[in-house]
A and B are shown apart, each in its own frame.
Chain A
Amino acid sequence: MTPFVQLTGFMAAMPLANINTDAIIPSAWLRSMTADLAAGLFAGYRFDEAGRERPDFVLNRPPFRTARILLADENFGCGSSREAAVWALARFGIRCVLAPSFADIFYENAFRNGLLAGKLDPATFAALLAEVDRHADNPVFTVDLPSTTIMGPDGIARRFAVPASRAEALIRGDDEIESTLRHAGDIAAFHRAARTTRNWLYPGVRNLGETA
């Protein structure tokens, strides 16, 4: 995983609650391993039926076309488990989403792909929204993970929340599978014990796919 320490770039605001993963990456981009996910990001909002850009959508307007930080509202990433939603944001260049709350699966997917999902209290959300608006010509923000702060054009440092363990893992760029495999002995011991107490749950040599 690509480590994340500090990020500076344009912040785009999409102050809508319940933005779902179907909206972040529509199903048309899920049919292939090699789909251009950056082109599919928010495709329903970005393009009209003829594939032309909708000029009023934030990511179609300079300077937000090259946004690296997204400011969103409550329950961002609800709906489908599709991890392509996170991949699409990352391929587009967005490596940090700030919102008052995130849907659970999206939140998990984000950190596993080096995308910082920072939680904001309502006052900070409102203040950032106003600040992006005030500096729409040059909305450059810096997100610093070790200090969990956001510094904007107004020069005010604001805080976001992220569990310390997640921040540390993101800063180190941990491979989570590698971390878990360090407990392989415990996992094997658990399975052995569970097979004695709940043997009915674990097929022995019989494969689940074979007819009994």
Chain B
Amino acid sequence: MADRPPAATTAAPSTVFDKIWDAHLVKRLDDGRDLVFVDRHVLQETTSAQAFDGLARAGRAVRHAELTVATQDHIVSTAPGRDEATNPAGRELLGLMRTNARAHGIPLFGVDDRRQGIVHVIGPELGLALPGSLLACGDSHTSTVGGLGALGIGVGTSEVEHVLATQTLAMTRPRNMRVTFEGAVEPGVTAKDLILHTIGALGTAAGQGSAVEYAGAAIRRLPVEARLTLCNMSIELGARLGLVAPDEATVAYVRNREFAPTGSALAEAARYWLGLRTDADAMFGQEFTIDCSRIAPQVTWGTSPQDVAGIDAAVPDPASFADAKRRELAAAALRYMGLEPGTRLAGLPIDVAFIGSCTNGRLSDLEAAAAVIQGRRVAPTVRALVVPGSTAVKRAAEAIGLDRVFRAAGFEWRDAGCSLCVSVNEDTVPPGARCLATSNRNFENRQGPRSRTHLASPAMVAAAAIAGRIVDVRREPAP
């Protein structure tokens, strides 16, 4: 007798990504894409001006100004005491953002606001990004908010315009991908090292078209701010977004944030958030496992985040890559970076040390860096900058005296903004100079024409600023 098919049961096992996505699905469009509702739309000044311009030319209104906020971060000067008038390079775009925000009733956290900061830092910090929500922003690193279990979708300017006009995105549904971290993380190894190592192992295109869930005991143990760092660089893995399922740590992080729910609304929300987890039998299009116990502090040697190695390693010989294209890319990267194969990463002299950005500009990042430099001095050959990710981070750091630690060591203590991550502002690395940075991209010319960027964690950058060269923070003598 033939087996009968099982009776229809409950919904098929699904991933945390699927659950959140389905909760935002307005409808499936005729062309196969999904129309999804955007709970929060966050604007920054370099990718929104043309969107407002397009909106005006088409005579369209902003559909949900109450779900939209704006901040100024990319082009702003981070010189202490700056204001909108002391931003000559950015005056046009800063002014347009102010005008547009006012015209459409969108709150603006501008350079003079206590809530100003890098868009991906203030989203979680203010409770604008919430677990289980879908947040869009005209910036690729919107994936950062995945650290809270939110879907953070980075878009271009025409999609910013689309969200302004419709409060939705029309998107191909991302595929499910999971990276599971096994083993224990060694002391001195941070979320930044985990994600750099992962990008090195899988490549910058591995996540194309995917929503990446980071899972495993090591991830559960990461504080929420570290999860934000991890998810931040999902875009460098090629993914549409990254996320970590919410847990009790997430709920604790969200509590008491300025725009987060309170009281019974928070209790109701928390129940919902804690139910957002991947079912045991859920299927992923791609699955990878990373052994944490083998990861050393990471430093990039080339011009793509995948050009990365442990601090114990040497600059690779391009000939060592099996793939011909990779050989060619590595050779070009070494020419640009002024490096010879076989040179130890530890010992490379640096000219600039940059601590900040949406990757590593939160309070815990500054604390980690300050712990390394306590009572020591920046090498005389190094320009060292600390740029808090938000004005609130700056205030919080000052409240516990971190600014004094940095200043006493010879670091510049600057106002909040994107600063040396993107060099669309006043802050640049001089031609040919070598910078160790906590940011997310080491592309050619990223920090200024002919700048040479190496990426690492805040503690590694702090240690290098003191030593004047890249060093293994784990081997640095205690002060």
Contact = CB atoms under 8 A, between A and B. Distances in A.
A109 B138 CA distance: 11
A98 B422 CA distance: 28
Which of the four size classes fits the interface of chain B? 35 or more
Given A187-B167, A208-B107, A83 B46 contact: no
Given A190-B26, A199-B265, A209-B69, A103 B92 contact: no
Contact of B60 (A20, A177, A190, A205): A177
A190 B49 contact: no
A109 to B, nearest CB: 4
Nearest to B133: A201
B93 to A, nearest CB: 7
Contacts of A113: 158
Interface stretch (B186-194, B266-274, B344-352, B394-402): B266-274
A30 B93 CA distance: 10
B162 interface: yes
Contact of B106 (A80, A112, A194, A209): A209
B124 to A, nearest CB: 14
Interface in A58-94: 73-75, 78-84, 86
Interface string A94-108: 000000010111001
A212 B258 contact: yes
B63 to A, nearest CB: 8
A18 to B, nearest CB: 6
B154 A200 contact: no
B325 A187 contact: no
B412 interface: no
Contacts of B50: 33, 83
Interface in B42-99: 46-47, 49-50, 53, 58, 60, 64-69, 75, 89-90, 92-93, 96
Interface string A12-45: 0000111010110011101111000000000010
Given A201-B39, A201-B133, A26 B445 contact: yes
Contact of B444 (A31, A44, A169, A184): A44
Contacts of A194: 23, 37
Contacts of B326: 17
A78 B156 contact: no
Most chain A beta-carbon neighbours within 10 Å: one of B106, B140, B170, B240: B140
Contact of A187 (B26, B155, B239): B26
B364 interface: no
B446 interface: yes
B26 A183 contact: yes
B393 interface: no
B424 interface: yes
B167 A191 contact: yes
Contact of B168 (A16, A84, A108, A187): A187
Given A74-B205, A201-B130, A30 B46 contact: yes
Contacts of B138: 81
A207 B67 CA distance: 8
A81 B154 contact: yes
Interface in B314-357: 325-326, 328-329, 332
Contacts of A183: 26-27, 29, 35, 168
A27 B205 contact: no
Interface string A164-191: 0110110000011101110110110011
A26 B424 CA distance: 9
A145 to B, nearest CB: 16
Contacts of A207: 65-66, 105, 107
Contact of A177 (B58, B67, B107): B58
Contacts of B154: 81, 105
21 contacts: A16-B332, A17-B325, A30-B424, A31-B46, A32-B92, A33-B53, A44-B444, A44-B445, A75-B208, A78-B205, A79-B140, A79-B443, A84-B157, A103-B238, A109-B157, A165-B32, A169-B31, A187-B168, A190-B26, A198-B132, A199-B265
Interface of A: 16-18, 20, 22-23, 26-28, 30-33, 44, 49, 73-75, 78-84, 86, 101, 103-105, 108-109, 112-113, 163, 165-166, 168-169, 175-177, 179-181, 183-184, 186-187, 190-191, 194, 198-203, 205-212
4 closest cross-chain pairs (CB), A and B: A209-B107, A165-B31, A83-B156, A109-B156
Given A108-B159, A187-B166, A201-B261, 4 more contacts: A27-B423, A177-B60, A183-B29, A200-B266
